[in-house]
Structure 1
Amino acid sequence: MILIGAVIAVLILLLRLLPSINWPVSTKPGPLESKLADYVTSEWVRRHAANQTNPVNLSPENLKAG
C-alpha cells in the first residue's frame, strides 16, 4: 500500500514539475527520445496503414509528376 502511495506521489510530482521545466525545441532530441518516437511512429503506421487506401491513383501522369 505504501508503494502505491509512493508511485502516485511521484506521478503527481512529475505532472506538476515537468510542465515548468524549460524544454527548448531547438535542441536535438536524445537517443532514447529518438528511438521512442521512431518506434511509436512505426507502430502507428503498421497498425493503421493496412486500413487505408492510397489517396493518389496510380497513373502514368501521376508517376511523371512525382
Structure 2
Amino acid sequence: MKVTIDEDKCCGAGSCVLAAPEVFDQRDEDGIVVLLDTEPAEDQHPAVRDAAAVCPAAAIVLD
C-alpha cells in the first residue's frame, strides 16, 4: 500500500490521526496532516483504510 496526501484538501479534522497515529500526524501551526509513513506495514493497512474512509475532505489517497 502506498499512501499520499493532498494537503490542499486537508481541513485539519484530525480523524486520520485518531484512526492511525503511527501513520498520520498534524502540524502544530495549522492542523494540516503530516504523513509519517508513505508505505505502512501490512498490519497498519486496516487502520490506514479507516483513516481514509473517515477523512471528511477525502485528502488521503491509497494505492
TM-score, normalised by the number of residues in structure 2: 0.24
Going by fraction, where is helix more abundant, 1 or 2? 1
Larger Rg: 1
TM-score, normalised by the number of residues in structure 1: 0.23
